A and B are shown apart, each in its own frame.
Chain A
Amino acid sequence: MGATAAIVTRNLSRSFGAVKAVDELDLQIPEAQIYGFLGPNGSGKSTTFRMLCGLLKPTGGEVDVLGRRLPRDAERIRGLIGYMTQQFSLYRDLTVLENLQFMGQIQGLSRRERRDRIGHSLKAYRLERYRKRRAEHLSGGERQRLALAAALIHRPPLLLLDEPTSAVDPQTRRDFWDALFELISHGTTILVSTHYMDEAERCHRLAILDRGRLVCEGEPLDLMRNIGATVIEVTGPDLMALRETLAGTHGVWNLTQLGSRLHVLLDPSTVNPAALIEAALSHAGLKSQVAVAEAGLEDVFVAATGRRPS
């Protein structure tokens, strides 16, 4: 982990009535990296983000963002963060240019700064053709690029992206991530929440949340290596029957179907797990091929949350 942390939380909690949306979160988010939050809907990703940018008051614990204590100093970090909300939250009835102008003014940029930066971001985010187009008439990908450009108009050192790619196609997602890597090369710290495994894998570090709790944290590769479960890949003609049998087999934690393959997670203390699975399946009279497999991030997620990703 880097020497300086952009964000530190201790026992960060937030309850809505009796529901604990975020439960005693301890995080150290290093500077100039992409830090991912992976978790199913309702796992507390958005609530955490909102607390990190001062939109919600924690009901317990502490948050330091860029060396400032929240929510006390919330106003003082306003100009230092860029925030991209889950839903498009710029003005749909304003044009691309008007939206960028507005955000620039709100962020207190001078006329010259605005002209320079808007010109630059129109180019960088391929929005030049649409400068006069209203945001409501943009495609999902264009709208997302506009939102990113607006969030970055004041060159914030910290960028929070709440499920930024939930409404765009795979190619746009790839481009988007290229843009993010470009940003961290300039020293920006980026927090991104997602429920896409391939995106999570691109992060420098990853926190997996489940029902408000941090269930695992680290670099994606380490997480996969230290999954704490054995992964067995099973293929066969009748996957439904295989699943039913395996679900009742002793030592099996979880099952994930990946197309025509099944990933079976087992207790790591299981001796010779492949043989155990084979025995169970042939006992049930089912044809199958069984092999030990490398754990993917999906397996990490399933092992950590004990259920399939949404």
Chain B
Amino acid sequence: MKAVRRTWAIAQKEFRQLARDRLTFAMVIGIPLILITLFGYAINMDVRNLRAGIADQAGTQTSRRLVADLTATQVIAPVRQVDTAEELEELMMRNEIVVGIFIPRDFERRLQDPNREAAQLLVDATDPLIPRTVSAVVDMPFGLREHSASPRLIPRTGRSQDSPLFSMRQYYNPERRSAVMIVPGTIGVILTFTMVLFTSIAIVRERERGNLELLITTPVRSIELMIGKIIPYIFIGMLQVSLILAAAVFLFDVPLRGTLVDLYLASLAYVVAVLGLGLLISTIAKVQFQAFQLTFFILLPSILLSGFIFPFDGMPQPAQYFAQILPLTHFVVLVRGILLKGAGLVELAPPLQKLGILFLITMTLAMLRFRKRLD
């Protein structure tokens, strides 16, 4: 009986403490809700609305109908019209499109020749899920050739063993190796984890140990404290980049098609952005454990929504908008662009700018939140 009483005393105390620890309580409710939403949104194996560029050199009624039919599958969503295949490749390198549809000048003639593919699909194979999805489209009967069951018939030529309508050309990762897709983004995931955690603990630890009470009675300014706190971690971050990069190239055979300088500059921008995020957390958290909890609040959506694992284009609009506030989203574009596509920082200016903006926002918020007072 005493054992039961004592056990119950512990349980009762635990319940009380849980109910009073607001952050933990919020996580009891918040984690299931957030995770179910994240997974429900992000894990989407039937990818739709892949951003597509169209180069229709034929410009005939049939070619326009082909594009319309492709669009109707909802697998692709045309976002750009260009003139040449080279322009499509350029757009793909900038990550503006993931699929290019090239319809050559002699499209109509090719259409009549069952031994030739009539048009070409250019596919960004960085994420193997994208070519897999697109190849299903290639095999679809579009009714442009005679024996199709589609009502939109074209005069038959009598051949039954036709070549596919499209030839598909895969870019950047034609072998569709998962490592090529996963490893570059992993640099970002590891940095998010370590950098956010280190900095978020940095100020909280000083608060816990009482150092902060002394520090804020000195003439040191908030901005000096903040910048001074992140400088060492910038070096640690760049060291980590080098380690992971070496492993990526030597162990996983990930290509380095861009320049090393660009890669380091992009990583520097990213490290600084996640450090800003960590600092912001450290001005919110009161004890180290809260800093841990908040770090995971950042890490999970980063992994799921950044395009690191699941194709960014497959996610619904709200999730894509939300992902814009996560530094990893922009870094995944940068690092894949530089490593796999051979892109330079000029082509990748937009994600780089977004990282800069995120850094400014988080630093400003951190500075506003951090008061040189205890109340």
- Using CB atoms and an 8 Å cutoff, list the residues of chain A in contact with chain B: 50, 53-57, 71, 74-75, 78-79, 81, 83, 85, 87-92, 103, 106-108
Residues of A within 8 A of B218 (CB): 78-79, 103, 106-107
Contact B210 A89 (CB under 8 A): yes
- Checking B210, B220, B372, B374 against A50 with a beta-carbon cut-off of 8 angstroms, the contacting residue is B374
A90 and B220 in contact, given A56-B375, A57-B375 (Cβ under 8 angstroms): no
Bound complex: CA A81 to CA B219 (Å): 10
Does B211 sit within 8 A of A, measured CB to CB? yes
Is chain B's binding surface mostly helix, strand, loop or mixed? loop
- Checking A50, A57, A87, A106 against B215 with a beta-carbon cut-off of 8 angstroms, the contacting residue is A106
Give 19 pairs: A residue, B residue, CB < 8 Å, sorted on A: A54-B372, A55-B217, A56-B373, A56-B374, A56-B375, A74-B373, A78-B217, A78-B218, A78-B219, A85-B213, A87-B210, A89-B210, A89-B211, A89-B213, A90-B214, A103-B218, A106-B215, A106-B219, A106-B220
Interface residues contributed by chain B, number (CB under 8 Å):
15
Does B138 sit within 8 A of A, measured CB to CB? no
Does B58 sit within 8 A of A, measured CB to CB? no
A55 and B210 in contact, given A78-B217, A78-B219, A108-B219 (Cβ under 8 angstroms): no
A55 and B374 in contact, given A106-B218, A106-B219 (Cβ under 8 angstroms): yes
Closest B residue to A147 by beta carbon equals B214
Contact A81 B220 (CB under 8 A): no
Contact A55 B219 (CB under 8 A): no
Is chain A's binding surface mostly helix, strand, loop or mixed? loop
A89 and B209 in contact, given A78-B218, A106-B220, A107-B218 (Cβ under 8 angstroms): yes
Bound complex: CA A78 to CA B215 (Å): 10
Residues of B within 8 A of A53 (CB): 217
Bound complex: CA A74 to CA B217 (Å): 9
Residues of B within 8 A of A107 (CB): 218-219
- Checking B209, B214, B373 against A83 with a beta-carbon cut-off of 8 angstroms, the contacting residue is B214
Bound complex: CA A99 to CA B219 (Å): 16
Contact A55 B211 (CB under 8 A): no
Contact A85 B219 (CB under 8 A): no
A83 and B220 in contact, given A57-B373, A89-B209 (Cβ under 8 angstroms): no
Closest B residue to A84 by beta carbon equals B214
Bound complex: CA A54 to CA B216 (Å): 9
Contact A91 B373 (CB under 8 A): no
A55 and B216 in contact, given A50-B374, A74-B372 (Cβ under 8 angstroms): yes
Closest B residue to A85 by beta carbon equals B213
Q: Which of B202-244 contact A (CB under 8 A)?
A: 209-211, 213-220
